[in-house]
Amino acid sequence: MHYYIKADQFLLENDMKKDAYVLVKDGKFGAFCTELPSSAVVYDFGDSIIAPGLFDTHIHGVAGFDVMDGTTEAMRAISESLLSLGVTRFLPTTLTSDSHALKTAIFAIKEAVASGLPGAQSAGIFLEGPYFTEKHKGAQNADYFRDPSVEEFFNWQELAGGQIVKIALAPERKNANHFIDTVTKSGVSVGIAHTSATYDECQHAIGSGANMFIHLFNGMSGLHHREPGAVGAAMTHPNVFSELICDGHHVHPDVAKLVYQIKQNKVVLITDCMRAGMMPDGEYYLGDFLTKIKDGIARTDSGSLAGSTLQLKDGVHNFYQWSGMPLHKIWHLASLSPAESIGQASDYGSIAPGKVADYVVLHQDLTIKATAIAGEIKYQV
C-alpha cells in the first residue's frame, strides 16, 4: 500500500504542520512533501486534523467485555470497539485474581493476538498485580496479594509467549527490589501501584529499575511534607513516568495541571477503563467485584473508585481544556509518552518517518472521523 495523506493540519511531536502531504508506504510513515508525483494516490481529508493513533497502556475492558473474561471473544470485542475511540494500540490489562483466572486471561490474549485482532492491536500485556498491599487495594482482590516471585513471573511470561511488557507492584513487599531488577533486565517495565510505600522505598524501587507510577494519586501513599510518600517520589524523580486518569474524578483538574508543569512529557494519559466503558449506567463486574456506575462513575459498594469508564480521546480533550497547552503537546501524552514508557517509541506514538502508520483523522472539534492501523483505514464515519 502506497499513498499520500492530505489534511489541513498534522499533529507532530514538537509542532503542528499545515497544508502538506505525508507518505504512507508499506504500513509506515514516510517524509512530508508539498509537491506530489503525477501518479500519486492521495487520501484528501480536507480541513481535518491528522493525529497519531492513541495508545492506551492501561485498559481492562470496554463495551461490556473485560480482559479477565479470559476469552478470545472478549479480546476481539475490545479491539474492535477501540477503533471508534481513536485507539490503535493498547495493553490488555489484568487484575489481581486467582492463579487459574490469571493464566486463562494471559492465554486468551496470546490466542487472540495470534489469530489476528480486528481493530486496535495489542502491544503487549500489562499485569496489574498481584504483588500489592491492602491499605490502597482499590478494586483489587486482597485475598490473592502476595510477595513478588521471579519464578512465577517467568512462568506467566512463558505462557504469554513473551508478550508481558509491563507489571505493577507495591515496592514494600518482600523481595520487590530483586524482582524489579530481574524483570526490567528482561525488558519488562515495572510500575509502582496499590502501595503504602514510603518515599525511601519508592526511591529504592526506582533505583532497581521501576520507571512509572500507576494512576498517580490513586492507590498509593500520598504527599506529606515530612513523608513525601509514593506521590512525592513520582513528582521528584524527573525520569519516571506518571499515569493520569483525566476524567475529572480521579484527579482534580488543577492537580493534573500541576503534575504536567513538573513532569511534562513524562505524563502518560490512560483510562483504566473497565467493561462499563461505552455502556449505560448500571451494575457491572470489575474482576471479582460488583461495581455500580452512576453518571459514568464506577464505584464499589464501599464507595471506592473502581477503574473508570473514560475514553482516552475524552481524557485528551479534558486535559487539553484544563492545561491551556497546544493540542500537539497534550495529544502526544496519550500516544508517544505511553509508547516511551514501555520502550516502544521507535515504532509507535508519533507521525515520523519509519514509524508504523497508526493515525486518527479528527474533525476540528476533535471528534473521530477515521482510524487507521499500519496505514489501513479500519474505521470511518
- The rounded distance, in Å, linking the Cα atoms of 120 and 66 is 15
- The rounded distance, in Å, linking the Cα atoms of 332 and 151 is 36
Yes or no: say if 298 and 309 are a contact pair by the CB < 8 Å rule: yes
Grid coordinates belonging to 371:
482510524
Yes or no: say if 138 and 305 are a contact pair by the CB < 8 Å rule: yes
Q: Catalytic: 200? A: no
* Whole-angstrom Cα Rg for the chain: 20
Cα torsion through 310, 313, 314, 320, rounded to 10: 130
Catalytic entry in 56, 66, 69, 272: 272
Cα 281 from chain centroid?
24
- The rounded distance, in Å, linking the Cα atoms of 41 and 375 is 13
Whether a cis peptide bond, with omega within 30° of 0, leads into 228 is no
Task: Read off the DSSP letter of residue 242.
Answer: E
Give the ranges where the chain is alpha helix by DSSP (H): 72-83, 99-115, 150-159, 176-185, 199-208, 229-236, 253-263, 312-323, 327-331, 336-341
Write out the catalytic residue numbers. Answer: 272
